[in-house]
A and B are shown apart, each in its own frame.
Chain A
Amino acid sequence: MENILSGLLDQGYIASQQIATAIFIAENLTKPILVEGSAGVGKTELALASAAWLGLPLIRMQCYEGLDESKALYEWKYGKQLLYTQILKDKMGDVLGDAPGLDQAMEKLHGFGDMFFSEQFLEPRPLLKALRQKHGAVLLIDEIDKSDEEFEAFLLEILSAYQVTIPEIGTISSTVPPLVFLTSNNMREMGDALKRRCLHLYIPLPDAKLEEQIVAARVPNIEENLRKKLVAFVQMLREQDLKKLPSISETLDWARVLLLLHADDLTPALVHDTLNVLLKFEQDIAAVRPQIAEITRKAQQFGDHGYRIT
């Protein structure tokens, strides 16, 4: 447990207790983790950090509508197959030359086996690649909710048995099962079968303390006082009734922007100018704009007296 926490910390990822627990269980029970949470809370980042920490290659598959198995799993290298048949045409004569009849020639051909449907002609796509890594890998299946329901069903074999079946070759199973992360933005409800095979980790928006640690780790150059204030500001913003609440990635962006502007204090004018970094909808900005002065003032106080928000 401690290992996981400090390991992720070394990669600049501040994990909560729950996250560390989930990874611990996933490693020991060899089960995939389904990570849910709103956009920008660090779902994908978690997979990246874990891969870096474990020293394993990260294999990433971005899901989208219409993704099918030839893009996710494997494809035959048709071009290579064609090329080879062309090149080998001449050789055919030599090989079959001494066969007296068609039957014998056929017999001889069978002897060479399924040359063109062997692993040399297999183009591994992310899933197959992950299974064939010798020392294991971290497989990130990003935004699984964007894919079709058929694709979700197709994933089940890989997620539960860590193997795939290719009709021409047979079943390929992994030597070291990869650590699998699936991320979802809740675009649609995932099927029960998929959920059953996964551990479920929900990453909420962080509280002030955690968020401040994250900002400190990710934007180390920012001054402590300003950091406290901006975190307090974002925390208060999350209590507003907004269409899209700012998440950690927005906080980090904002911190970087403030750093870039050489700001040393949070003033209403500054917030006014940079609010579009935090809020991504016109209505949200319009709703917050009149309150900027008020929230900034409160954030100033929190900056001075610690970050407890009641």
Chain B
Amino acid sequence: MQRPLENFLRALRAADIRISPAESIDAHQTVELVGYGDRQFFKDALCVALAKTPDEVAAYDDVFEMFFQRDEFDTESSPEDGESSQPPESAAGDEAFAEQMESVPLAEMILDADGNELSAQMEQSANRVGATEIKFFTQRGYFTRRILDDMGLRDLERLIASLRRSGEGDGDDDNDGDATDLANRLEQGRRYLLDETRAYVERQYELYARANGENLREEFLMETRMSNLEHRDFDRMHKIVRRMAKKLATRYARQRRHTKRGQLDIRRTMRKNMPHDGIPFEVFWKQTKIERPKIHVICDVSKSVAAAARFLLLFLYSLHEVIAQLEAYAFSDSLIPVGDILNNNDVEQAIPEIMNAIGFRSTDYGQALLDYESGFMDDLDRNTTIIILGDGRSNFTDPRIDIMRRMHDRSKAVIWLNPEPETFWGTGDSEMPRYRPFCHVAKTCSTVMHLERVIDDILKSYARA
């Protein structure tokens, strides 16, 4: 029973459940303990040993059901379809062909309607041809064929053909009818077997390879320019971005302390050394707390960046979910705070709502900055980082560089992420070259990968400070 369990663990890994060698040892011990007798017990026991978060428990349930699903070869429905046409005499008929049949065990199994035997046979064959190694969607046909060949489908087909031939033979011989009848039944069984095998391979693919495909797709999406992303990838994108934001947030959520060397913390030292009669054996240094990052994000959702805006907002939404001290604003020709919208809605609703409220208009950076200054600049202190997501194309309106300068002076850092490549900056109505001196960082950021790297850098700078 070693092998099915190993396969099961592999399927679990494919479903994103972390299973290290230590866990697989646990799994084996657990199985030894509980045995295979009681399905529910077996399932619960392995679940306790392997799945370590509520998410993993859900994934585990799915994989378990799929993996240990054996749709028994439904012997009632298929080969027996012609039950009525199987009067006792046909047994005699079968005998006539017994010799031929003997050489084709598969045919015997079909006629015996032995479902268990068939499915067991199929699994053995599948193991022999290595069906669990399936990697790509396109391999399904190939593996189906290999399994069937291994089970002796060729022989079966040959047998059916020869039965047909003898059936079409002389005419009024009793055996002829039986032969055709038999051939028909075998044919039915063959078709049924084909379907079952196909379904089986499909399941193997779902279990072992699907995650591969998903990963491939996700990697591809990470590298794709945001403006080129398609609507249908939105869900997937949301998953990626959320995971990324969460990773960043957990890494930086802890309040960090930083030991200042050389400055004695007298209070703590005295208190700690009381047991030693006040003799300072253990010495404590003063520490400073490192504040958690405070971030203001200002996101351009105007016409010029319409394609990328959805994804910028998506990122904003995910970031908002995981970072407590984040203020979000969106603008095109004027600027509004969107923290409430992000707070109160699902991502599917929040993004269209923001777009409705402020999106798709022509850009006016000057006005947006003015709105920001008059409304929200008071929140800005020297621990705050401003992130601006936008292309800096302002339709030849006054860019209000003076406000930008004030923002620069008051904040810890101003970071400008622009979806356009750097060579385009300054062409047409782009004001990037004039804004740039007042940004601590100005970078092209066109893919999710970029985004992650930049945010990581920002948060890291806090950790070090």
Contacts A29-B33, A76-B275, A82-B277 hold; do A199 and B48 have CB atoms under 8 A apart? Answer: yes
Contacts A25-B33, A29-B33, A196-B23 hold; do A17 and B40 have CB atoms under 8 A apart? Answer: yes
B26 lies within 8 A of chain A by Cβ: yes
A21 lies within 8 A of chain B by Cβ: yes
- Shortest beta-carbon distance, A97 to chain B, in Å? 26
Are A189 and B51 in contact (CB-based, < 8 A)?
no
- Shortest beta-carbon distance, B214 to chain A, in Å? 22
Contacts A25-B33, A192-B18 hold; do A18 and B44 have CB atoms under 8 A apart? Answer: yes
Interface string of A190-201 (1 = CB under 8 A from B): 001001101111
Q: Which residues of B have CB within 8 Å of A199?
A: 48-49
Contacts A21-B44, A196-B20 hold; do A202 and B277 have CB atoms under 8 A apart? Answer: no
Partner of B45, one of A21, A82, A200: A21
Task: Pick the interface stretch among B52-60, B186-194, B383-391.
Answer: B52-60
- Shortest beta-carbon distance, B61 to chain A, in Å? 11
Bound: A149/B47 CA distance, A? 26
Bound: A33/B22 CA distance, A? 16
Q: Which residues of A have CB within 8 Å of B84?
A: none
Q: For B50, give the chain A residue with the smallest CB separation.
A: A200
Bound: A31/B29 CA distance, A? 12
B254 lies within 8 A of chain A by Cβ: yes
Q: For A16, give the chain B residue with the smallest CB separation.
A: B44
Within B12-60, the residues touching A (CB, 8 Å) are 18, 20, 22-23, 26, 29-30, 33-34, 40-41, 44-45, 47-49, 51-54, 57
Are B52 and A25 in contact (CB-based, < 8 A)?
no
B250 lies within 8 A of chain A by Cβ: yes
Contacts A1-B41, A21-B41, A192-B18 hold; do A36 and B54 have CB atoms under 8 A apart? Answer: yes
Contacts A25-B30, A189-B250, A196-B23 hold; do A78 and B48 have CB atoms under 8 A apart? Answer: no
Partner of A18, one of B30, B48, B53, B253: B48
Bound: A26/B169 CA distance, A? 70
- Shortest beta-carbon distance, A192 to chain B, in Å? 7
Are B275 and A18 in contact (CB-based, < 8 A)?
no
B289 lies within 8 A of chain A by Cβ: no
Bound: A22/B40 CA distance, A? 13
Q: Which residues of A have CB within 8 Å of B51?
A: 200
Within A20-69, the residues touching B (CB, 8 Å) are 21-22, 24-25, 28-29, 31, 33-34, 36
Contacts A25-B33, A29-B33, A196-B23 hold; do A201 and B277 have CB atoms under 8 A apart? Answer: no
Are B275 and A25 in contact (CB-based, < 8 A)?
no
Bound: A181/B94 CA distance, A? 65
Are A17 and B275 in contact (CB-based, < 8 A)?
no
> Among B30, B48, B250, B276, which residue has the most Cβ atoms of chain A within 10 A?
B48
Q: For B58, give the chain A residue with the smallest CB separation.
A: A202
Q: Which residues of B have CB within 8 Å of A196?
A: 20, 22-23, 52
Bound: A195/B22 CA distance, A? 11
Bound: A28/B18 CA distance, A? 23
Within A213-244, the residues touching B (CB, 8 Å) are none
Q: Which residues of A have CB within 8 Å of B48?
A: 18, 21-22, 25, 33, 199-201
Q: Which residues of B have CB within 8 Å of A22?
A: 44, 48
Are A29 and B52 in contact (CB-based, < 8 A)?
no
Are A29 and B18 in contact (CB-based, < 8 A)?
no
Q: Which residues of B have CB within 8 Å of A34?
A: 52
> Among B20, B34, B277, which residue has the most Cβ atoms of chain A within 10 A?
B34
Q: Which residues of B have CB within 8 Å of A188?
A: 250, 253
Within A64-103, the residues touching B (CB, 8 Å) are 76, 78-79, 82
Q: Which residues of B have CB within 8 Å of A31?
A: 26
Q: Which residues of B have CB within 8 Å of A82?
A: 277
Q: Which residues of B have CB within 8 Å of A18?
A: 44, 47-48
Show 15 residue pairs from A and B whose CB-CB distance is below 8 angstroms, ordered by the A residue. A18-B44, A21-B44, A21-B48, A25-B30, A25-B45, A25-B49, A29-B26, A33-B48, A76-B275, A78-B275, A188-B250, A195-B52, A196-B20, A196-B52, A201-B48
List chain B positions with a Cβ less than 8 A from chain A.
18, 20, 22-23, 26, 29-30, 33-34, 40-41, 44-45, 47-49, 51-54, 57, 250, 253-254, 275-277
List the 9 closest pairs (A to B, CB-CB), nearest first.
A78-B275, A21-B44, A200-B52, A22-B48, A195-B52, A199-B48, A18-B44, A202-B54, A21-B45
